[in-house]
Amino acid sequence: MNAGATAQKHLKNKKKAAQTASAKSRVEPTGPLYATRPDVMRVADDIAERRDLDRDWVRQAIGQAHYMPAVARAVTPPSAGTAKNWTVYRSRFIDPVRIRAGVQFWQANRETLERAERETGVPAAIIVGVVGVETIYGQQTGNYRVIDALTTLAFDFPAVHPKATARAAFFLSELEAYLSLTQRTSTDPMALRGSYAGAMGMPQFMPSSWSKYAVDFDGDSRVDLFNSPADVIGSVANYFKSFHWQRDMPTHYPVRLTADGADKAALLAPDILPTFTPAAFAAQGAELDGAALQHAGPLALVELQNGDAPPLYLAGTENFYAITRYNWSSYYALSVIELGQEIAAVLPK
């Protein structure tokens, strides 16, 4: 048995054990059924009409969903004044457990990762980093019924959230996408489990992302993001390609803000959207060197707070921005990048 086959067998055994543990820790619904809410049932009828779905099927699916207090709590923002801390955030995702599992995943799927990189330009390290940060390569894919999570967030998103209305609308659209997906694939909408936000499978795709970006990369004529590493790899790569990943472009460069001349407010005004040329970057007091000075595209100043310690600053490229389209957080993006780098550094050649 070759190294890849041995690693694949080891991964399957670990995944089976993880699925058994996950089944034992499933979060079962406890709150009231949404079938008791006339306002929800009216929306169900509207979804059925707009999505061309069977009205009774939609009413039954949404009506069987339960309000989940734990889901509502999970999306409630932290109290005001809670400081972000990159060092603490990083330690949650870049640890020996993920690195070891990442090496095994890479070895077991080396040829598929190479094919995805060849076809899309997305480096294997980025793909491996995403799957590791999201679910530790399928070990933690979520314990909530997706129908419960999405329905709770669509109709009872916590009002204390500063963007509650917009977020509720987003999750209503994801609920619609989920119903369309399960109907199209003849899947029981009550059967799938995912995160408290309704993300599913090894790469934690939201339902709309599954419909838009997931691909059949193993050639079996179906897309399986729960059990097919090939489909997971191809789909993550396709996601980034769809968000304009640029082959061979670095994700970021070191940057230093001059003590007396840096206009940090101006540099941070576009958030993490790449806006400045290297020359404009330097004119605002952000010092670059080496390859960064020759970068052909726009850059963004990325600030990662470190609690009471000084922040970390990076010059983010369009590829860094592409990673934040997967999860709108610069902390997430740098964790993906650095986990992939750590794994690549210890990967047997």
Q: Which positions are annotated as active-site residues? A: 134
Alpha carbons 268 and 18: distance in angstroms, whole number: 42
Burial environment of residue 240 by CB neighbours within 10 A (0 to 12, 13 to 18, 19 or more): buried
Cα dihedral sign for 191, 19, 224, 212? positive
Cα dihedral sign for 319, 320, 322, 326? positive
Burial environment of residue 216 by CB neighbours within 10 A (0 to 12, 13 to 18, 19 or more): middle
Structure tokens at 166: 């917009």
DSSP string, 154-174: HH---TTSTTHHHHHHHHHHH
In 3-state terms, what secondary structure has residue 66? Answer: strand
Amino acid residing at 134: E
Q: Which of 208, 220, 133, 140 is nearest to 178 (CA)?
A: 208
Alpha carbons 129 and 42: distance in angstroms, whole number: 42
Structure tokens at 255: 């940057």
Q: Which of 317, 328, 223, 233 is nearest to 275 (CA)?
A: 317
DSSP string, 127-147: HHHHHHHHHTTTT---SEEHH
Do 86 and 305 form a contact (C-beta atoms < 8 A)?
Answer: yes
Structure tokens at 297: 């595209």
Structure tokens at 322: 């592409």
Structure tokens at 142: 């979520």
**CA distances for 161 relative to 75, 77, 154, 225, angstroms:** 8, 6, 13, 31
In 3-state terms, what secondary structure has residue 223? Answer: coil
